Structure 1
Amino acid sequence: MKEIPSLYTWAGGQPALEKLTAVFYAKVGKDELLEPVFRHMSPEHSKHVAHFIGQVFGGSPVYTAEDQGSHARMVQHHIGKSLTETQRRRWISLLLDSADEIGLADDPEFRSALVGYLEWGSRLAVINSNTTENPINENEPMPKWGWGETGGPYQP
């Protein structure tokens, strides 16, 4: 039986994810709806996001080991931002446009997993952005995303 590659490997590894986030955040910086949200992001922001996605998609733990990140720290970046559904949808749209632009794998299975992750993560970002306290404990593990597993109904 053939081994199924991780989403990270199938996407093209860290170089592909870093290219994706660089192209994406360049678009965000010019977008009238999203630019205000990301106006003060660090020059390293897109690389940290690529490291986060890479680790979630089965790559090496660059985000936690080298960036000193955690799931709780990623969630913390969204607390109190009051993100809207309109902003969330634009974020996903620009990210998927960027994926097409750089030639990220576009087979149905990969794109289904990618869109599933983006929907899940961005909806949690909106929920968390409308709170004042981080619901994630610093000791909670990083999320892991695969080829279609679901975690059942959302329960805060």
Structure 2
Amino acid sequence: MGVDEPGLPTLFEWAGGSDALRRLIDAFYDRVEADGLLSGFFPGGVSEHHRDHVAAWWAEVLGGPTRYADELGGYESMLDHHRGLDISPEQRHRFASTMSLAADDARLPDDPEFRAAIIGYLEWGTRIAMHNSRPGADDLTEHAPVPRWGWGVAPPWQG
């Protein structure tokens, strides 16, 4: 189920669909592979398999196809991928700022409303991932739907 924002395109549509999100994920992981603070999470580089799955996650979160929930394990799978990584606050911040730069690399829409929405998701999602990555974290939400992100407080400017 998507966010109820009648009359507005989904963030997935506004971004440019699956091709645009795959450009985002590739640009992001290309940067991650060259970043000493983040590359250690991916010894040997970021696989095609991982890039494909993360692109599917982002597509679903932004209101696109539900492939991650339907075929790739949903929220529980994403939770499992972050368990035990012990993501530091500095790594979390670098992840979010690197994704913002990758959005520029991928030529995603640069209107402030769209960027505010995806940065809002990045802040929310990376903080949850950091918490869930802590060894021994015992207050995890084990089962949840894949989040569906919307425009929030700033819908697209239609000038």
TM-score, length-scaled by structure 2: 0.85
Alpha-carbon distance between aligned partners in 2 of 1:38 and 1:45, rounded to the nearest angstrom:
10
1:136 maps to: 141
In the alignment, structure 1 residue 52 sits paired with structure 2 residue 90: no
SS at match of 1:136: coil
Deviations 1:116-144 (A, max 9, x none): 00000001111111143672334x21111
1:34 maps to: 38
Q: What displacement does 1:34 show?
A: 0.4
Alpha-carbon distance between aligned partners in 2 of 1:8 and 1:22, rounded to the nearest angstrom:
16
Alignment of 1:5-154 (within 5 A): 5-39=9-43, 41-66=46-71, 68-132=72-136, 135-138=140-143, 140-148=144-152
SS at match of 1:14: helix
Q: Partner amino acid for 1:65?
A: D
Q: Which of 5, 8, 16 pairs up with 1:4?
A: 8
Contact kept? 1:72, 1:137, Cα under 8 Å? yes
Alignment gaps of 5+ in structure 2: 1-5, 154-159
The count of aligned residue pairs is: 146
Deviations 1:63-107 (A, max 9, x none): 1223x2211110111111111011111111111111111210111
Alpha-carbon distance between aligned partners in 2 of 1:18 and 1:47, rounded to the nearest angstrom:
8
Alpha-carbon distance between aligned partners in 2 of 1:38 and 1:120, rounded to the nearest angstrom:
22
Contact kept? 1:22, 1:47, Cα under 8 Å? no
Alignment gaps of 5+ in structure 1: 150-156
- What is the alpha-carbon root mean square deviation over aligned residues? 1.8
TM-score, length-scaled by structure 1: 0.86
Q: Partner amino acid for 2:118?
A: L
